[in-house]
């Protein structure tokens, strides 16, 4: 196995192997039960925060509602947090990439972090240049970078065919992934979904192994959430955002908009528009 980093949780409660298995089963049940509600509901966007925004992207048959704890932890650190709802999460991954790109544009998000679970990492990697230009870094959690041979079992879904290792989509994603330098992959020591290391370990020096069991634990369990928050905090520390400068510019714009001269000019423009 190639070199990688190992994340050792310090804040989350210690859990033995037996407890990790029990909780992974509970997370998987929760994952399934929240699928239908997730088609109708999406957690509200947390737009306040002085740090860079974070966008959360679900995986195959994933639900936006499964991100609630991770969303709260990131917001507590001072990040605006957005959860994307792409649809049924089993359709055309190319369309999902376009939707994700439009989501970033519509919400005017730039210099942001993407946190993507499983198939969501493939969606993010396949974005066009407009989406990539708005992304500072992509964190993937248990993403099958080389596809999954058992995805053919979901032949009734578009995504099932696209995630097959020999598909054209996976060949394109592999080629794109080689050109991207702003991706960091996180994988579990034992993943019941990506049971082969070959599937979910890209082989980069900064890949992160979480010594835990479970595919859902990567983003729903306390150890996985701690890993996500620590990685984003470490990335943020490299080039801290300066909120004071942005606040000053915002206040300047607001004061300019409220000034009598600006209001008079707006009234004149509105009056001319009405006469026309």
- Cβ distance 62 to 84 under 8 Å? no
3-state secondary structure labels for all residues of the chain: CCCCEECCCCCCCCCCHHHHHHHHHHHHHHHHHCHHHHHHCCCCCECCCCCCCEEEECCCCCCHHHHHHHHHHHHHCCCCEEECCCCCCCCCHHHHHHHHHHHHHHCCCCCEEEEEECHHHHHHHCCCHHHHHCEEEEEEECCCCCCCHHHHHHCCCHHHHHCCCCCHHHHHHHHHHHHCCCEEEEEEEECCCCCCHHHHCCCCCCCEEEEEECCCHHHHCHHHHHHHHHHHHHHHHHCCCCHHHHHHHHHHHHHHHHCHHHHHHHHHHHHHHHHC
> Within the chain, what is the greatest distance between any pair of CA atoms?
76
Complete domains list, the chain, with CATH: 5-240 (3.40.50.1820), 244-275 (no CATH)
Q: From first to last of its 276 residues, what are the pLDDT tens digits of the chain? A: 457 889 999 999 999 999 999 999 999 999 999 999 999 999 999 999 999 999 999 999 999 999 999 999 999 999 999 999 999 999 999 999 999 999 999 999 999 999 999 999 999 999 988 998 999 999 999 999 889 999 999 999 999 999 999 999 999 988 888 888 899 999 999 999 988 776 666 667 889 999 999 999 999 999 999 999 999 999 999 988 765 445 544 544 555 455 555 455 555 555 554 454
For the chain, state the CA radius of gyration. 21
In this predicted structure, what is the pLDDT of residue 229? 97
Phi, psi of 56 (to 5 degrees): -105, 130
Q: Is 49 left (phi over 0), alpha (psi -120 to 50) or beta?
A: left
In this predicted structure, what is the pLDDT of residue 248? 43
In this predicted structure, what is the pLDDT of residue 276? 47
């Amino acid at each position: 196995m190639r070199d990688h980093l190992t994340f050792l949780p310090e804040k989350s409660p210690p859990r033995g192997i037996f407890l990790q298995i029990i909780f992974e089963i509970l997370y998987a049940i929760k994952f399934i039960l929240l699928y239908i509600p997730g088609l109708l509901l999406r957690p509200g966007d947390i737009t306040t925060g002085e740090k860079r925004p974070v966008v959360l992207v679900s995986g195959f048959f994933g639900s936006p509602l499964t991100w609630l704890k991770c969303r709260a932890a990131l917001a507590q650190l001072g990040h605006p947090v957005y959860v994307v709802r792409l649809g049924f999460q089993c359709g055309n991954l190319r369309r999902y990439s376009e939707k994700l790109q439009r989501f970033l544009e519509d919400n005017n998000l730039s210099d942001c972090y993407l946190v993507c679970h499983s198939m969501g990492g493939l969606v993010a990697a396949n974005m066009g240049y407009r989406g990539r230009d708005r992304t500072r870094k992509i964190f993937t959690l248990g993403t099958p970078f080389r596809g999954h041979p058992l995805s053919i079992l979901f032949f009734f879904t578009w995504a099932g065919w696209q995630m097959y290792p020999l598909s054209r989509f996976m060949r394109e994603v592999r080629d794109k992934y080689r050109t991207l330098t702003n991706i960091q992959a996180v994988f579990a020591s034992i993943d019941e979904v990506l049971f082969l290391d070959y599937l979910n370990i890209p082989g980069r020096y900064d890949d992160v192994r979480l010594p835990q069991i479970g595919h859902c634990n990567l983003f729903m369990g306390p150890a996985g959430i701690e890993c996500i928050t620590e990685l984003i905090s470490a990335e943020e520390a490299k080039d801290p955002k300066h909120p004071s400068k942005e606040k000053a510019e915002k206040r300047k714009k607001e004061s300019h908009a409220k000034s009598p001269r600006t209001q008079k000019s707006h009234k004149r423009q509105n009056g001319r528009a009405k006469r026309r």
